Amino acid sequence: MKVSQLTNFLRDSQEKNVYLVEGSDNYQIDQAKEIFINQIPKEEKEFNVGIYDMEITPLSVALEDANSAPFFGDKRLVLINNPYFLTGEAKKNSIEHNVDELIEYLTNPALDTIFVILANYDKLDSRKKIVKQLKTKAIMIDAKPLNENEIRMQVNQLCQNKGCQIDKDAIDQLLYLTDNNFTKVMNEMKKLLINAIQDKVITLEMVDNLVNKSLEQNVFDLVEFVLEKNVDAALELYHELIEQKEEPIMINAILISQFRLLLQVKILQKHGYAQGNIAEALRVHPYRVKLAMKNARRFNYEDVRHAYLGLEKNEEDLKSANVNPELLFQLFLFKFIEK
Locate CATH 3.40.50.300 in the chain. Answer: 3-142
The CB density around residue 34, as the number of other CB atoms within 10 Å, is 9
The tens place of each residue's pLDDT in the chain, 339 residues long, gives 999 899 999 888 766 899 999 999 999 999 999 999 999 999 999 999 999 999 999 999 999 999 999 988 889 999 999 999 999 887 776 788 999 999 999 999 999 999 999 999 999 999 999 999 999 999 999 999 999 999 999 999 999 999 999 999 999 999 989 988 999 999 999 999 999 999 999 999 999 999 988 888 899 899 999 999 999 999 999 999 999 999 999 999 999 999 999 999 999 999 999 998 999 999 888 888 988 998 888 888 999 999 999 999 999 999 887 889 999 999 999 999 886
| Pairwise CA distance, residues 108 & 36, whole Å | 21
Q: Looking at 104-247, which runs of residues are DSSP E strands?
A: 113-119, 139-142, 165-166, 201-202
Is residue 126 helix, strand or coil? coil
What is residue 94's DSSP assignment?
P
Q: What is the pLDDT of residue 323?
A: 85
According to CATH, the topology of domain 215-338 is Zinc Finger, Delta Prime; domain 3 (1.20.272)
Query: Coil, helix or strand for 70?
Result: coil
Position 252: which residue type?
N
Nearest to 330 by CA among 215, 225, 210: 225
Q: What are the two backbone dihedrals, phi and then psi, of residue 175, each rounded to the nearest 5 degrees?
A: -65, -35
- Bridge pairing between strands 18-22 and 201-202: unpaired
CA dist list (Å): 3 to 6, 9, 32, 106: 5, 10, 6, 22
Q: Round to whole Å and give the CA distance between 36 and 47.
A: 15
With a CB cutoff of 8 Å and minimum separation 6, the contacts of 213 are: 177, 221
d(CA 145, CA 161): 22
Please give the pLDDT value at position 89: 80
Residues forming CATH 1.10.8.60 domain(s) in the chain: 148-210
Task: Return the pLDDT at 90.
Answer: 75
Predicted local distance difference test score (pLDDT) of residue 43: 92
CATH topology of domain 148-210: Helicase, Ruva Protein; domain 3 (1.10.8)
Number of residues written out for the chain? 339
Exposure letters 295-307 (e unless 16+ CB within 10 A, then b):
bbeebeeebbeeb
Domain 3-142 has CATH 3.20.20.70: no
Q: How far apart are CA 158 and CA 155, in angstroms?
A: 5
Cβ-based neighbour number of residue 16 at 10 Å = 13
CA separation (Å) from 119 to 28, 109, 140, 233, 302? 11, 19, 11, 45, 52
Is residue 50 within 8 A of residue 10, CB to CB? The reply is no
Q: pLDDT value at position 16?
A: 81
pLDDT at 14: 66
Could you give the dihedral angle defined by the CA atoms of residues 147, 153, 159 and 162, in that order, rounded to the nearest 10 degrees?
-110
